[in-house]
Amino acid sequence: MRQYPWYQEQWETLFHDLERFPHALIIHGQDNAVCDDFAQNLCHALLCQNRLADVACGACDNCLWVNNHSHPDFFSVDAEGNETTDKLIPVKVIRSLKNFFELTSHQSHGKKIAYIARAHRMNKESSNALLKIVEEPPNDCLIILSTSQLDAIIPTVKSRSRLVHLHQPVQEDGLAYLQTLNLDMDASTLAFFGNSPVAAINERDTYDHAKSIVRALSDGEALNPDAIKNDWLDYGLAWLVTVMQKWSYDLLLFKLTQEISYFPAEKSALEKLAGKSSLPNMLVFQKKLNEIKAYASKPVNKEINMEVMMMEYRKMFR
């Protein structure tokens, strides 16, 4: 894998014996974006007609078709040129794979590849429809799934697939990678993104916004209502809930272990707030955040939900 050096071993292993390549792969790890990128790069490399070892040439007809999202031997579910959504994958989409695989490959001796992004979005009917295909795989066909929720994939599909785990890189590797891209990000920035350099790259514009929010949250019970701005919702309610979850998780973690996960640069503020907080109230607040997160992406009144979160936040310190 050229883009992420810490996955090079997994990448090379896949290409070591192409004659015995599995008919189904599940690329799984903590980060959806990483799994998506790895899987799509894999599809591209396998479809390339002038591949050099394990690298797509980028110039052949197949590569051009892939880049234009028009390759006749490539079926992509929710990943061609668009940001993958969280919507469920309907059963009719999975059933259409059968028709796709029944068509003759455009290339002689070529593979037909189907890619299902974030496969945990399949419901029971979709999963069972996929199982029927995986149980009796067509010749010269490959199905690749990516997911950050391996447990959501039904066991019978997992047992008929090769699992490729993408571990999180250690912080040192992540920082070194960011430096090769000339990105000015330190360990504190990387920590906010769960030490995922890919998430840090894709979402780096949100970090300064998150820092301004936690600066206000550092006031604890004394949080001034005037400090709560509507622009806190610029990236959506679900994003704001995630920031609150990370902050409250660090509060709880510091209170219990004196450790910090997401906001190491805010140690003094977290230490002060942890000393004033009530453990039962912390757990109640975590539960409230989980409840809001469950519907945060739906059309709801974001401002009211933000106010509810802030009121519940202050209660932790009473």
User: Starting at the edge strand that comes first in sequence, how are the strands of the sheet with 141-147 ordered?
Assistant: 74-77, 112-116, 141-147, 24-29, 162-166
110: three-class secondary structure by DSSP:
coil
Q: What is the pLDDT of residue 165?
A: 95
pLDDT single digits (tens) 292-309: 999 998 899 999 999 999
CA distances from 253 to 231, 260, 277, 312 (A): 28, 6, 12, 19
pLDDT single digits (tens) 54-63: 889 888 988 9
CA distances from 46 to 62, 201, 313 (A): 10, 26, 50
Its pTM stands at 0.77
Q: What is the pLDDT of residue 51?
A: 84
Q: What is the pLDDT of residue 202?
A: 84
Q: What is the pLDDT of residue 136?
A: 87
pLDDT tens over the chain, length 318 residues: 456 888 988 999 988 888 788 899 999 998 888 899 899 999 999 998 888 878 898 889 889 998 888 899 999 987 655 555 667 898 999 999 888 988 877 776 678 999 999 999 999 999 999 999 999 888 888 999 999 999 999 999 999 999 999 998 888 888 988 888 888 889 999 999 988 888 888 888 999 999 999 999 999 999 988 889 999 999 999 999 999 999 999 999 999 999 999 999 999 999 999 999 989 999 999 999 999 999 998 899 999 999 999 999 999 998
Q: What is the pLDDT of residue 69?
A: 85
Residue whose entry in the numeric block shows the structure tokens 């994958």: 89
| Ranges assigned E (strand) in the chain | 24-29, 74-77, 112-116, 141-147, 162-166
Cβ pair 151, 127 in contact under 8 A: no
Q: What is the pLDDT of residue 68?
A: 87
52: three-class secondary structure by DSSP:
strand
Cβ pair 74, 111 in contact under 8 A: no
Q: Which ranges in 263-301 belong to alpha helices (H)?
A: 267-276, 279-295
Going along the chain from its start, the domains and CATH numbers come out as 5-166 (3.40.50.300), 203-315 (1.20.272)
